[in-house]
Amino acid sequence: MGIYLDYLATTPVDLRVLEAMLPYFHAEFGNPASRSHAFGWRARAAVEEAREQTANLIGAHPEEIVFTSGATEAINLALRGLVARRPEGRSRLLVARGEHRAVLDTAEDLRSRGLQVDLAEIDADGQVIVEGFEGRLGESTLLSCVQWANNEVGTVQPVGALAEACRAHGSRFFCDATQAVGKLPVDLGETGIDLACLSAHKIYGPKGVGALYIRKGEPRLRLAPQITGGGHERGLRAGTSNVPGIVGLGRACEIAAQEMEAEGTRLLGLRERLEGGLKARLEGVQRNGEPGQSLPGCLNLTFEGVAAEDLMMELGDIAVSSGSACTSARPEPSHVLGAMGLSASRAQSSIRFGLGRFTTREEIDQTIERVSRAVGKLRSPLGTAPRAPEKGS
């Protein structure tokens, strides 16, 4: 099966999650919107239990959770839904340059429909420059969008400070928490974030299900539904509920809450072993992103003089990536690395390693060996060969 090191793109469904889902494909097949019989009642109870499990992981109330088909739909509901109900005089969006394409492309479409879109700069480590961010906020700012953790380099953002700055200007703050949830402590209530999204398939749940967090309280957040046709999810997202998927999301959140701390420590150790091993064997290896404020399982490295596409082809059955899975069809270099100030050539020589729940130390050691050999082979016309491993590495 090879070695899978692309856990930031997607994760396998944990067997404990699958076990929780299985009854809802056959035995418990009721529609939770059917309120006149026990089949519907049991399905509705399962959905509400999952809503509570999801809320518990992110420091929210169950009634603040709206189930969607994933983070992309949640992003569209948040941005488009808020724009459709925006108060008079609020016509600007502030978006960080390193955001996921689901945010950037949605913002660009809203720009074509008459909204102003400002871009907040990020520094060489991928962090939003707080002073510059605050300087772009104003009375006309409707919404600001910043990820909790970047999906390509893993950099964690100061979302609490950014949300506070937005509150001071009377604007809303949306956080794409997809990569952070289940990997880092996330408390949306404590940080004062207004809107946030997550996706099950990033935390060992099924694909095709996610959630949007909508903070309750005053002033009330009003969103226009983007999918109509019924009163599902408090009228915000029509369509028959994906009960097995929602149950899977809830169980995945429950497991993450129980195991996140220990798993984070384990992954950090494996990440440091991978980075240290490659740098001991190879010259011209540079890390992209801030190691002290980063997802424990994310490592983005530049291999000087080697094209990332060639390296991935050489690695064969080791699954890594050169950026976000959602932008893999785009021929241009990573927009995230470009916003961090990397040259196009360096960005095109960068690989993202995503470590996860089922990554082993043996796989890391095999990867160090295989990547070192592959880079040495690709560099060989330049006369740059891998160094011999140091004793004890």
Q: Which residues are catalytic?
A: 326
Q: How many residues does the chain have?
A: 393
Residue 222 CA to residue 209 CA, distance in Å, equals: 23
Q: Tell me the residue ranges of DSSP E strands in the chain.
A: 3-4, 65-68, 92-96, 116-120, 141-145, 172-176, 195-199, 210-214, 285-288, 298-303, 318-319, 350-354
SS3 content of the chain, % helix, strand, coil (to 5): 45, 15, 40
Pairwise CA distance, residues 193 & 224, whole Å: 19
What's the angle, vertex CA 140, arms to CA 138 and CA 144, rounded to 5?
70
CA 142 to chain centre: 23
Considering only CA atoms, which of 123, 130, 190, 111 is closest in space to residue 150?
Answer: 123
Strands (E) across 138-240 are located at: 141-145, 172-176, 195-199, 210-214
DSSP state, 342? Answer: -
Both structure tokens of 257: 């809450």
Within 10 angstroms of residue 240's Cβ, the number of other Cβ atoms is 12
Which has the closest alpha carbon to 54: 145, 195, 181?
A: 181
Burial of 249 (0-12, 13-18, 19+ CB in 10 A): buried
Kindly tell me the burial class for residue 16, based on how many C-beta atoms sit within 10 Å of its own C-beta (0-12, 13-18, 19 or more). middle
